[in-house]
């Protein structure tokens, strides 16, 4: 693991919604650079920036038209280089979002691949051999190009799949992963990575990291081999560059070249049970049913989280980091289902667990999920992508543009939370986040790879739902319920509270933890 990841806390930025410096209603790279001191002061020392490359933006930039060019609406390549330089001067690292599985249908590679005449890009994408051929179980498009064939999609219609080959070959048009066309695709992605790393990028979050090889085995044998190949290149040429996968399969990702993997939200998986536990409906209404662990009156125990998270952590903690997030651009904001008091202790747990925590912009002030029509392929996710709320006043400090020109509308509520207001209030959620992150940075026992052990995790019985865990020599404990809890932790003499949200008291060998409280003992 890269040394800098031990103390890394990431801040995810959706660039079009963070800070607009030129008044066009869309956030930009100079805006991110201007807020680096804010991010560092909050306690985050690394960034993950969602796609900022040239794109027609049918999927918010995850449809790349030019991998080596910053989208003009965000600025220039030099603006991004300046962001790297300024971040490094402040002791911060920057990851870009890499989309290796597909491009935009407007990418020059795809335009060349679509031509009738054979050329060096003809095999860069996956094409069948006839205009009426099916996709062997994969989604496909036909009738839109001069080439006699249909092409395979990786996700939306605007995202033709790059050709990394097939694990199991059923059709004559499918190629093995060692075919020259497939190897050329791998080398092309390496070239893109080298381009940005040479400019100062510190690594990549990899979109749909599992999606490269089609008809791959259950264990993604061929896709994993590609990532090991790429990781070997990075280790030789850029040994401090980090890779984080969008996979939520740490047994595969972390053992095959990635430094980090996310625990992602899914219907009633371990992460979902912590802060959401919605009814599974995928639309712009969160359908909060109040069953998440951190909901005060849910009655849900920590076992639903641990049953999912703990086996993966135990299997992979020596290979890399399995990381927890407050939210991301694909996830309904936690404030949709949790109160401020519930958010405080939820974040405190996330920031003291193993792995490098990821804080989504605006979650530090409890930005709300907005029910909005789709924008750039966002659909229900659009409501988590609204402009950052910096201060009271016009557009909540995001932009000087006319409100109707904004990328998305700001929270219209009279009590919409802002950074400025919460920084002035010592009891705000912002100050809670800042204080727990400062505590984390001050204690090596909370480093991302520091030892972890479950100390106390009973199944929920009524309002008795506490959870306690050890990190190095520290003991962390949380009680999300509405009633005081007594934890028989067999504490050593001299153990004292070092950090508390709510109330906590060491009484002999036990910890008395107040309702909706969190504590670190040492």
Q: Is residue 123 part of a domain?
A: yes
Mean pLDDT of 149-162: 97
Residues 355 and 461 in one domain: no
Mean pLDDT of 431-437: 98
Mean pLDDT of 268-291: 82
Contacts of 467-474 with C-beta under 8 Å, sequence gap 24+, read 467/302, 467/349, 468/511, 469/353, 471/352, 471/354, 471/445, 471/446, 472/443, 472/444, 472/445, 472/446, 473/445, 473/522, 474/443, 474/445, 474/446, 474/498, 474/520, 474/521, 474/522
Q: Is residue 183 part of a domain?
A: no
pLDDT band at 184 (very low <50, low <70, confident <90, very high): very high
- Whole-number Å distance between alpha carbons of 434 and 42: 5
- Furthest CA-CA distance within the chain: 81
State which H helix or E strand residue 13 sits in: strand 10-13
- Which of 116, 131, 163 marks a domain boundary? 163
Q: Is residue 190 part of a domain?
A: no
Residues 367 and 278 in one domain: yes
- Helix 180-199 × helix 77-89 angle, to 10°: 60
Mean pLDDT of 383-401: 98
Residues 108 and 90 in one domain: no
Residues 427 and 483 in one domain: no
Tell me how far CA of residue 195 lies from CA of 71, 433, 506, in angstroms: 16, 35, 54
Indicate which CATH number applies to the domain containing 48: 3.20.20.80
Mean pLDDT of 486-493: 96
| Res. 282: pLDDT tops 70 | no
pLDDT in the model for residue 290: 87
Residues 35 and 69 in one domain: yes
pLDDT in the model for residue 332: 93
Indicate which CATH number applies to the domain containing 481: 2.60.40.1180
Domain count, the chain: 3
Q: Is residue 62 part of a domain?
A: yes
Residues 91 and 109 in one domain: no
SS3 content of the chain, % helix, strand, coil (to 5): 30, 20, 55
| Res. 275: pLDDT tops 80 | yes
Q: Is residue 188 part of a domain?
A: no
Which residue is it, tokens 């009590």? 415
Is the Cβ–Cβ distance between 467 and 304 less than 8 Å?
no
- Which of 163, 181, 216 marks a domain boundary? 163
| Res. 111: pLDDT tops 90 | yes
- List of residues 6+ apart from 59 with CB closer than 8 A: 155, 156, 158, 159, 376, 377
| Res. 212: pLDDT tops 80 | yes
| Res. 91: pLDDT tops 70 | yes
- Whole-number Å distance between alpha carbons of 216 and 223: 7
The three-class DSSP label of residue 413 is coil
Residues 311 and 419 in one domain: yes
Provide the 10 A C-beta neighbour count for residue 32.
Answer: 28
Q: Is residue 200 part of a domain?
A: no
The three-class DSSP label of residue 239 is coil
Residues 367 and 509 in one domain: no
| Res. 521: pLDDT tops 70 | yes
Q: Give the residue numbers spanning the domain of 464.
A: 451-521
pLDDT in the model for residue 228: 98
pLDDT in the model for residue 18: 98
Locate 465 and state its tokens: 């739902």
pLDDT tens string 215-244: 999 899 999 999 999 999 999 999 999 999
| Res. 266: pLDDT tops 90 | no
pLDDT in the model for residue 437: 98
pLDDT band at 285 (very low <50, low <70, confident <90, very high): confident
Mean pLDDT of 510-519: 98
Which residue is it, tokens 């969008």? 246
Q: Which of 17-26, 234-243, 280-289, 443-452 comes out lowest in average pLDDT? A: 280-289
- Which of 424, 442, 460 marks a domain boundary? 442
Indicate which CATH number applies to the domain containing 116: 3.90.400.10
Report the chain's mean pLDDT, rounded to a whole number.
96
State which H helix or E strand residue 347 sits in: helix 340-350
Mean pLDDT of 320-337: 96
Residues 92 and 138 in one domain: no
DSSP letter at 487?
Answer: E
Q: What distance, in Å, lies between the first and last C-alpha atoms of the chain?
A: 27
| Res. 267: pLDDT tops 80 | no
């Amino acid at each position: 693991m890269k040394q800098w990841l031990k103390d890394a806390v990431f801040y995810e930025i959706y660039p079009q919604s963070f800070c607009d410096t030129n008044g066009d209603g869309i956030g930009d790279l100079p805006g991110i650079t201007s807020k680096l001191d804010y991010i560092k002061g909050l306690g985050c020392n690394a960034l993950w920036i969602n796609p900022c490359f040239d794109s027609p933006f049918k999927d918010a930039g995850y449809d790349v038209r030019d991998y080596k060019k910053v989208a003009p609406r965000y600025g220039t390549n030099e603006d991004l280089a300046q962001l790297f330089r300024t971040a490094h001067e402040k002791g911060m690292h920057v990851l870009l979002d890499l989309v290796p599985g597909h491009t935009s249908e407007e990418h020059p590679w795809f335009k060349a691949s679509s031509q009738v005449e054979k050329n060096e890009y003809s095999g860069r994408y996956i094409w069948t051999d006839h205009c009426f051929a099916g996709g062997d179980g994969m989604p496909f498009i036909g009738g839109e190009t001069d080439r006699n064939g249909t092409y395979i999609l990786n996700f939306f219609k605007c995202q033709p799949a790059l050709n990394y080959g097939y694990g199991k070959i059923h059709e004559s048009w499918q190629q093995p992963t060692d075919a020259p066309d497939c190897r050329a695709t791998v080398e092309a992605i390496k070239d893109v990575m080298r381009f940005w790393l040479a400019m100062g990028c510190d690594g990549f979050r990899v979109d749909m990291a599992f999606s490269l090889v089609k008809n791959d085995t259950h264990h993604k044998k061929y896709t994993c081999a590609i990532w090991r190949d790429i990781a070997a290149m990075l280790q030789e040429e850029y040994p401090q560059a980090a890779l984080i996968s969008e996979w939520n399969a740490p047994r595969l990702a972390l053992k095959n070249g990635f430094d980090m993997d996310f625990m992602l939200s899914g219907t009633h998986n371990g992460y979902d049970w912590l802060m959401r536990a919605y009814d599974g409906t995928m639309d712009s209404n969160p359908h909060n049913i109040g069953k998440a662990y951190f909901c005060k009156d849910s009655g849900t125990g920590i076992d639903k989280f641990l049953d999912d998270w703990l086996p993966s952590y135990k299997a992979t903690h020596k290979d890399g980091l399995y990381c927890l997030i407050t939210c991301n651009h694909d996830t309904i904001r936690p404030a949709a289902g949790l109160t401020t008091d519930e958010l405080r202790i939820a974040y405190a747990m996330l920031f003291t667990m193993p792995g490098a925590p990821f804080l989504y912009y605006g979650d530090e002030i409890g930005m709300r999920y907005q029910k909005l029509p789709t924008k750039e392929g966002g659909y229900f996710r659009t409501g988590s992508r609204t402009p950052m709320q910096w201060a009271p006043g016009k557009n909540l400090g995001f932009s000087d543009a006319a409100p109707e020109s904004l990328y998305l509308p700001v929270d219209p509520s009279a009590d919409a939370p802002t950074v400025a207001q919460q920084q002035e209030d010592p009891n705000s959620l912002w100050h809670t986040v800042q204080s727990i992150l400062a505590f984390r940075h001050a204690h090596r026992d909370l480093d991302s790879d520091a030892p972890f052990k479950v100390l106390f995790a009973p199944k929920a019985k009524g309002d008795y739902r506490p959870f306690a865990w050890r990190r190095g020599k520290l003991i962390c404990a949380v009680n999300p319920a509405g009633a005081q809890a007594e934890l028989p932790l067999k504490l050593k003499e001299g153990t004292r509270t070092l950090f508390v949200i709510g109330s906590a008291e060491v009484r002999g060998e036990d910890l008395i933890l107040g309702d909706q409280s969190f504590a670190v003992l040492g």
